[in-house]
Chains A and B, each alone.
Chain A
């Protein structure tokens, strides 16, 4: 069930009623949330619910062993291996199997590796990371092991179950474990976020996808270079709208439930370099990668070369996390290489190469934008075909979209972007000034206009596939 579907919004208000009627008892609210989260999984496939239940019990037992025997590293290592093995087996088994198959073929071994009929449980990429954060925190004695129901809810909390944000145990578990009643502390912010999500995902993002991205990415040679450039920009924008819109949606839903999710986006295309981009894009993943991959690898503690190697390795892991495909590895490598180059340039030149922030942002955006092409295309050849058509098709075929005009619109949007990034907060502030009984008179027409302008159909969330 999509969080933007009619079914969800037909049921969710009733759930909220029951949930807030139980406000004096957070433990009952937790039970309701756990039930809803598992119910949601069962709607997709009951095996998803069975798997997360088994995974929860396993990692919960291990967390108690880690806590009980702090002097023994064994249980911690075992728990991390167990978590990653589940992810590797279920999400990456086919990727590794086909890679080994290719290798065997190249070496002349005539072996055919059998394929496993496994399915990837929904949300496994996210709750594996949730559990790792929990296990590390228990090991570091930042937290004591939670009770099984609290831990189960921490892993399965439905707003962040399918596509994050990635919750940290030490920040999120206390919200579950609270004994004092939760408060619907900022409904205006929540409702603004929900509206914003609708605008970003169902209207703007879906329109970009429908009109430009799909046709061009399906067959780039058919299009003029300017049309292809337009589609490349449009995809960067759509990916941002889709994923940040999804984050707005689940953050809004969590707020309605009295929970705060971590910030995941902060105007990423304003970044003036790649490091800054990753501090602004999918922040919960970047921080996870920094704390649980980059730092354990040694971070920047053992000299420049090791630090650069660690950056590349971290980006490779980040790329692979997005999907079991070589294109994601390549995309991670491109970002890693970009960061290494920038770091090296910084060491050779005293002053920054580009002092103008707008120009630096524009360059960073283009780097990220063209790397997104590799991210979207299913194979490397498809990416090359895209870039080949981009640089060659200036003379023919003829223009099919009004690319010159819309590229101008994009440029204006890019310049205006810094001023608009605070718009949601501003809208929430304005909504707070309206008397609560009159708020539907503002919200309902805005939702209506957005739905009317949106292309038909329930939009898909790109990151739900990761």
Chain B
């Protein structure tokens, strides 16, 4: 940078021009090289083609995307090398003399004791016990019996009328968007604390079924079931990122949200998820999106919930509307839910996500839906 006296009126535009040149010519090559990522992002966020998409007709523009191939390959191979090293180091550590075997943990909680609150019940520190008694843990340990009270049973429109039965060795898979990211940790923690059941939380913000080029849940789920065949329950929470036009799978123009073609494609993707789980011997619990503060989004969510409900019922799986759990329905948005005569804030200010209390309430409903039985009974 050439030294420039501040406030030099004549030189200011020149210095600014140089700065703009540097900025623009640092960014433009990136727009060229990262064109595919930008196009996907733009579709996902703005539901239309990216502004520079028209340049795709020129082969010189398209060639930019190919520049990404080599670094992407390098990244993949580096990542796999690092993973290999990590796995070697982890297995060496775990195989050290005196190390416990992984099974020990599962054995620590007998499956016939569903009320066991491991590890809380083993807390010996007086301070911990004192505080635990006064500030209950994130997941309400009493939630396991909710189904018996009929509360969850009314919310559930499940054909088999019962709950998912898992053994201590089974695993649970969570897929969904940012709503699931808020809930899955509490279900995961509850299952682990009570039954030493391990879960896999794949939820990822901004994802849905509308833009598989951005994130493809059906193929991700297939891959996950191949790698982890002991998953026996898949919990799905999708929708708020989907109520938009999306490109036709065969590359035709955009399908209009709610149109017949749109619905056919979307239903197909719901079914694909359900069928993958069923083929792998897993049950599905599908959570429907709650009411939304914005009217348009709320109406669209109600429509999507109808599709989810139809397909889930046809597949004889379990469907759980989340709105009623946090005190609202598609007719009326409410931030607060009633809990024992008290008003508790269940929704965050954006009118889409849940507060901590809302997340815990839904997590408890999901937990109440899972019954732990001996391995033979689960099968």
A283: CB under 8 A from chain B? no
Say yes or no: B13 contacts A98, CB within 8 Å: no
Say yes or no: B7 contacts A180, CB within 8 Å: yes
A187: CB under 8 A from chain B? yes
With A402-B86, A436-B1 known as contacts, the answer to whether A380 contacts B30 (CB < 8 A) is no
Interface-located stretch among B181-189, B263-271, B314-322: B181-189
A-side contacts of B7, CB under 8 Å? 180-181, 183
- Give Cα A110–Cα B17 distance, bound, in whole angstroms: 68
A115: CB under 8 A from chain B? yes
Output the least CB separation between B266 and chain A (Å): 23
B104: CB under 8 A from chain A? yes
Residue from B99, B185, B189 in contact with A398 in the complex, judged by beta carbons closer than 8 Å: B99
Residue from A110, A221, A396, A443 in contact with B22 in the complex, judged by beta carbons closer than 8 Å: A443
Residue from A24, A444, A453, A457 in contact with B25 in the complex, judged by beta carbons closer than 8 Å: A444
Output the least CB separation between B146 and chain A (Å): 20
Output the least CB separation between A111 and chain B (Å): 9
B-side contacts of A85, CB under 8 Å? none
A58: CB under 8 A from chain B? no
Interface size on A, residues (CB 8 A): 76
A360: CB under 8 A from chain B? no
Give residues of chain A (90-144) contacting chain B, Cβ–Cβ below 8 Å. 94, 98, 101, 105, 110, 112-115, 117, 119-120
A-side contacts of B343, CB under 8 Å? 101, 112-115
Say yes or no: B89 contacts A219, CB within 8 Å: no
Say yes or no: B131 contacts A6, CB within 8 Å: no
Interface size on B, residues (CB 8 A): 81
Output the least CB separation between A460 and chain B (Å): 8
**Total inter-chain residue pairs, C-beta < 8 Å:** 198
Say yes or no: A94 contacts B345, CB within 8 Å: yes
For the residues of A in contact with B, the DSSP-based class is: helix
- Give Cα A185–Cα B12 distance, bound, in whole angstroms: 9
Residue from B12, B41, B188, B356 in contact with A183 in the complex, judged by beta carbons closer than 8 Å: B12
19 CB-based A-B contacts, threshold 8 Å: A20-B13, A98-B344, A183-B7, A187-B18, A187-B22, A191-B23, A218-B184, A219-B189, A256-B23, A381-B136, A388-B128, A396-B104, A397-B102, A398-B90, A398-B94, A404-B89, A432-B1, A447-B30, A451-B30
> Considering the complex of A and B, which 3 residue pairs feature the smallest CB-CB distances, nearest first?
A20-B16, A218-B185, A440-B25
Binding site for B on A (CB under 8 A): 6-7, 9-10, 13, 16-17, 20-21, 23-24, 94, 98, 101, 105, 110, 112-115, 117, 119-120, 180-188, 190-191, 215, 217-219, 221-222, 256, 378-382, 384-385, 388-389, 392, 395-402, 404-405, 431-432, 436-437, 439-440, 443-444, 447-449, 451-453, 457
